[in-house]
């Protein structure tokens, strides 16, 4: 599975939405279910799946699907 596919499947599971709903600009503003609790669950699941650790600043930044993907890619490459 590609990074994108894995991430989409995680976001879909954590948010409880179909993958088709996930666009690059998906954010807590567009998706009401994306509350602070689900945000924490998302970070936990992504960290475990890719074996990476977010800095606290990064957790705060991840307020859009596009940014999440960017940070994950940067960490995997770095």
Partner 1 sequence: MKYIDILTEHEALSSKQTGSQFRISVLSNITTNQIKEILELSLFQEGINAAVQFGQFDNLVQDSAHQSEYDAVLVFWEVCETRDWLSTKIDLLSDLELEALYVHLVNSIDLMLKNLCNTRAVVFNRFSGRLFSDNALNKTRLEMLADRLNVYLEKIKPSNVTLVDLDRVYSIIGIRKCTNWRDYYNTKALYSVDFFQSYVTHILPIFKSITGNIKKALILDCDNTLWSGVLGEDGLGGIDMSSSTQAGKLFSEVQRIICSLRKQGVIIGLCSKNNEHEVNEVFASHPDMQLKSFDITIKKINWKDKVDNLEAIADELNIGLDSLVFIDDSEFELESVKSRLPAVAAYKVPVRLDSYPALLREISSSCFSMSGTIEDARRTDMYREQIARNNAKAEFKNIDDYISSLCLEVHVARNSCEVISRVTQMSQRTNQFNLTTIRYTDREISDRVKSQEFDIFTLSAADKFGDYGVTGLCILENLGRDQTVNIDSFLMSCRIIGRGIEYVFFDNIVEWIEQQNVESITARYTSSGRNGQVKNFYDELGFDCTSCQGKSKDYQVSVRDYRSRNIGYIGVTCDY
19 is an interface residue for partner 1 by CB under 8 A: no
Which CB, 21 or 25, lies closer to partner 1?
21
Ranges of H-type helices in 16-64: 36-50, 56-61
Distance CA(50)–CA(3), nearest Å, equals 9
Distance CA(14)–CA(42), nearest Å, equals 6
Q: Which of 20, 51, 56, 78 binds partner 1 (CB under 8 A)?
A: 56
2 is an interface residue for partner 1 by CB under 8 A: no
Interface residue list for partner 1 (CB under 8 A): 10, 13-14, 16, 37, 40-41, 44-45, 48-49, 53, 55-56, 59
């Amino acid at each position: 599975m590609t990074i994108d596919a894995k991430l989409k499947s995680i976001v879909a599971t954590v948010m409880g939405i179909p993958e088709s709903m996930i666009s690059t600009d998906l954010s807590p503003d567009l998706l009401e279910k994306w509350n602070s609790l689900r945000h924490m669950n998302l970070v936990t699941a992504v960290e475990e799946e890719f074996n990476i650790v977010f800095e606290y600043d990064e957790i705060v930044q991840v307020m859009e699907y596009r940014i999440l993907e960017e940070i994950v890619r940067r960490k995997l490459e770095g």
